[in-house]
Amino acid sequence: GEPFSNLLWLVVGSDLPVVYGSNPISVQATSVGLAHDFHSYTNRGHGVHENGSNSLHGDIVPKISDGFYVNLLRPAPLVITGDTVICNDQLLQEYKTRQDSAAYYDWAIIGGSFIQHSPFSPEVVVLWNENAPVKSLSVTPYSYHRARGLTKSITVDILLRRTNTWTGGSGLWNTTSDWSLGISPDVCHNVVFPDLSDLSQNVTMDSTARVNISKIYIGQNQNLTLLSPLRLENASGIEVAGQLTISDTVDILSVYDADQNSLEVAGTADITTNGVLNISQATEHAVKVVNGGNLSNHGKMNIMADNPNNLFQDIKIEGAFTNYGTLSLSHPDKVVIHVTGGGVFTNEGIMVVKEE
């Protein structure tokens, strides 16, 4: 209604504006999607703030302070990056969040311990306990003004490192009954297509989603065709004794086994015009074509061996490697292609070398 109703008799006419209390204003703000805070007080009337003439109610200043810290000084919400599904032989993991408006990071862990940790750092290294029933990591940021941000948490699952062997004949990758474990390979599986002594067989991967695994061994007389994306991260790479055809994107990232090549070709490997092979952070050679092996690239190969401590060549050729597509190599101050013995490298396409 109109304000100052006890003084309206002094006003000529009824020309004062109609005002509304905070509750109707809050209801209207909610109905139109306007962000707001509403704090309800009972039986205070116009004295909602003042407790008498010289002091404020005790609940007023804290709410003003909380609103100031929450709306103006609180750090922006964070995201934790790092692996949330890991294998039981990779319990040491690194996690990061971004460093922007936060000055202090309150990290907390359940089911593991900190190996490297500072309240002033957005990065931690943790060692997970494989047998812990719950494994989680959280971080709460604080601003320079000590305003508390929102807590961000992640949970971690630990899977067993296992070998999953193809036991069927020619067929499709997703046929679970053709795998020794009775399931299609997952992120911690070492996939084996065993050597065949006489008859050859063909297996095709044509999944609706990207497949994540740890390692592939393609045995003699085994032909594997990749028509959908494949990712090997913190893994053991691909070994080809038979035949591999790549017609989609294959990522081999951060091979962790010492003396393990990211891609080793002793048989035949072909990257088609639709194929893309990305390799980064190799511990040994990113690509090694051994004596008798044959690798041909009609698509794109991106070799990003960006480990500055890596003393190995990006590509070592003892067999034959022919590039018809695009070959991009990046490595700081190292030999990018090394041809040895009876090896042959032929470039009929585009080759880009970056020294970074």
Mean pLDDT of 308-336: 78
3-state class (DSSP) for residue 271: strand
Look at residue 307 in the predicted model and tell me its pLDDT: 53
User: Residue 333: which pLDDT band, with cuts at 50, 70 and 90?
Assistant: low
Look at residue 37 in the predicted model and tell me its pLDDT: 73
> Residue 122 and residue 109: Cα distance in Å, rounded?
14
> Residue 121 and residue 104: Cα distance in Å, rounded?
7
Largest CA distance in the chain: 110
Mean pLDDT of 48-62: 74
User: Is the pLDDT confidence value at 141 over 90?
Assistant: yes
User: Is the pLDDT confidence value at 242 over 70?
Assistant: yes
Q: Say what percent of the chain tops pLDDT 90.
A: 54
> Residue 207 and residue 254: Cα distance in Å, rounded?
24
* DSSP conformational letter for 341: T
- Pick from 10-24, 92-106, 166-180, 229-243 the range whose average pLDDT is largest: 166-180
Amino acid in position 73: L
Query: What CA–CA distances, in Å, run from 8 to 4, 46, 182, 238, 287?
Result: 7, 17, 85, 88, 90
Is residue 273 within 8 A of residue 299, CB to CB? The reply is yes
Mind listing the pLDDT tens digit for each residue in 181-225? 999 999 999 999 999 987 789 999 988 778 889 899 999 999 999
* DSSP conformational letter for 76: P
In SS3 terms, 244-303 reads as EEECCEEEEECCCCCCCCCEEECCEEEECCCCEEEEECCCCCCEEECCCCEEEECCEEEE
Terminal-to-terminal C-alpha distance of the chain: 73
Look at residue 22 in the predicted model and tell me its pLDDT: 74
pTM: 0.73
> Residue 326 and residue 126: Cα distance in Å, rounded?
39
